[in-house]
């Protein structure tokens, strides 16, 4: 009787069961997805390529025609962020889709102008830019020209 329930026999008998459960689990999780698809446009209704689209750890980007498709987990709240250099982010919050649903969303991204601080040029030709510090020559040692470094607050 003890040979029947030995550790080797129990492990050998449970391996096929574990494999079946893993395969079954993959099919279940695969069926619990939904997707969001569409075309990202600018204010002039022109498609924008290379827009980053992120929801949690999932992400994609638009193609050259501004088209994207993003797979999401169904039946959960999703927040999707569309970002592109030179445009304001578009955020779609609390989106809940059913299993196998495809939601069409065509966001319009507005231009986002970023103003950089001015540059002051003195009579000696030295330039001062707000937020940048010049490292004195005595601290640089072998370098001839002062280096510019950003102050991070």
State the CATH number of the domain containing residue 53: 2.60.40.1120
Is the confidence at residue 138, as pLDDT, over 70? Answer: no
Q: How many CA atoms lie less than 13 Å away from 43 in the CB half-sphere?
A: 6
User: What average pLDDT does the chain have?
Assistant: 77
Q: What is the pLDDT of residue 24?
A: 60
What pLDDT digit, counting tens, does each position of 31-89 carry? 599 999 999 999 999 999 999 999 999 999 999 999 999 999 999 999 999 999 989 99
Q: 21 with 54, same domain? A: no
Q: Is residue 114 part of a domain?
A: no
Q: Is residue 82 part of a domain?
A: yes
Structural domain boundaries enclosing 2? 1-30
The number of domains in the chain is 3
141 torsion bin: left (phi>0), alpha (psi -120 to 50), beta (else): left
First to last CA, the chain: 72
Q: 41 with 97, same domain? A: yes
Q: Residue length, the chain?
A: 153
Q: What is the pLDDT of residue 153?
A: 46
118 or 111: which carries more pLDDT confidence?
A: 111
Q: 16 with 50, same domain? A: no
Q: What is the pLDDT of residue 125?
A: 62
């Amino acid at each position: 009787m003890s040979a029947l329930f030995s550790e080797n026999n129990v492990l050998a008998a449970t391996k096929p069961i574990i494999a079946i459960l893993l395969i079954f689990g993959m099919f279940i999780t695969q069926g619990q997805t939904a997707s969001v698809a569409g075309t990202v446009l600018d204010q002039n209704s022109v498609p924008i390529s290379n827009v980053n689209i992120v929801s949690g750890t999932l992400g994609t980007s638009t193609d050259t025609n501004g088209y994207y498709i993003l797979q999401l987990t169904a039946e959960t709240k999703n927040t999707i962020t569309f970002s592109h250099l030179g445009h304001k982010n578009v955020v779609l919050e609390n989106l809940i889709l059913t299993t196998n649903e495809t939601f069409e969303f065509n966001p319009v991204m507005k231009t986002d102008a970023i103003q950089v601080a001015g540059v002051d040029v003195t009579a000696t030709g030295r330039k001062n830019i707000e937020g940048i510090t010049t490292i004195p020559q005595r601290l640089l040692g072998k370098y001839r020209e002062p280096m510019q470094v950003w102050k991070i607050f």
